[in-house]
Copies of this chain bind each other. A is one copy, B any other.
């Protein structure tokens, strides 16, 4: 892999044009080696008096020193704070603790936050930055496949509550996102695979050519070839950026990014977050593709094609056998997108295209019975 990095020195730059009310546009930079160039990137893009680097214990061990030492020359020594890794840390309590630690260290309104880690770090540190003294700049430096492909772009920040995921937070864009595909080399294999689920989702809702490319390149993607990863991240970020642009409040096509996620969130909830997000999304996409077919919205064969690719990527495609399906369907109603007995699902029309209802909606009201039938497979039998 190292040998290929020399072919790979042109930085990809994508402008994400977010709505002004969430903070406006910002650049995403993608290239192997950018983590080592953080100081010059921050100096060029975001001037703050002092940085707080927020990360988790695993990422701290891998990259904490590099990043802290790298940006030490920018001003007063950065504050490096880490917390136990995992979704269970995404709480109001930890948000409060991180805020308190920054206050105790004297970080002022002229400070900034570097969110160094996966999706949990990005959401939590992003929320800390968005609410610290009513908002200080945040730079997202995602270190997992999932966070690069999906979580670090779009401006969602927040924490989970016992009642559900992401129930408190704000939409607040980062000032800059820096993605270094080389850091994905140190990820455990299952974590890398889990992240690829969101790439399949981007392809499934928006770009059949991209879907076909992933199908062709499964092996190099799983081998973590840096050029393949840069291309993968680039296309996913482009798709997500185009969908979130002008639609930050999720009333329009951005809603199609929820494909797979209604079931996924319910599964995560019912499992007590024991199931990885990417795995839940893989299972959710197959279930919701099947639901689309059962409702006559998706082309026949849509679910099978998605399922085949996910299986080749080593991702689960079936709800774990011990799961109480009625409980999963009940949990979709706790999803924050719902308010009535019917729950709105983002569905496919075919592989590579999200479905749009005749009245222009990007989601579809589905009854608990229809949803249950689809996930038990009864509808397609």
Contact = CB atoms under 8 A, between A and B. Distances in A.
Interface of A: 19-24, 49, 92, 96, 99-100, 103-104, 106, 108-110, 130-135, 156-158, 161, 163-164, 166-172, 336-339
Contact of A133 (B22, B130, B157, B336): B336
A96 B160 CA distance: 12
A276 B329 CA distance: 51
Given A21-B22, A92-B92, A336-B108, A170 B103 contact: no
A305 B133 CA distance: 34
A337 B20 contact: no
Contact of A131 (B96, B109, B135, B168): B168
Most buried by B among A21, A92, A100, A337: A21
Contacts of A21: 20-24
Q: Is the interface of A mostly helix, strand, loop or mixed?
A: mixed
Nearest to A106: B339
A21 B96 CA distance: 24
A131 B158 contact: yes
B24 A103 contact: no
B103 A163 contact: yes
Given A163-B103, A339-B110, A171 B49 contact: no
Nearest to A19: B20
Contact of A337 (B24, B103, B109, B170): B109
Given A21-B23, A158-B134, A161-B103, A338 B108 contact: yes
Contacts of A96: 92
13 contacts: A20-B21, A92-B92, A99-B167, A103-B163, A103-B164, A104-B163, A108-B338, A132-B167, A132-B168, A133-B166, A134-B168, A134-B170, A170-B170
B99 A134 contact: no
Contacts of A167: 99, 103, 132-133
Contact of A99 (B130, B135, B161, B337): B161
Nearest to A22: B21
Contacts of A24: 21
A23 B133 CA distance: 18
B339 A108 contact: yes
Contacts of A163: 100, 103-104
A339 B49 contact: yes
A196 B45 CA distance: 44
A104 B167 CA distance: 12
A134 B169 contact: yes
B109 A336 contact: yes
A20 B18 CA distance: 12
Given A99-B161, A133-B166, 12 more contacts: A20-B21, A92-B92, A100-B161, A106-B339, A108-B337, A109-B336, A109-B337, A131-B131, A131-B158, A131-B170, A133-B167, A134-B168
Contacts of A108: 336-339
Contacts of A338: 108
Contact of A134 (B135, B161, B171): B171
Most buried by B among A20, A99, A130, A168: A168
A133 B169 CA distance: 6
A157 B130 CA distance: 12
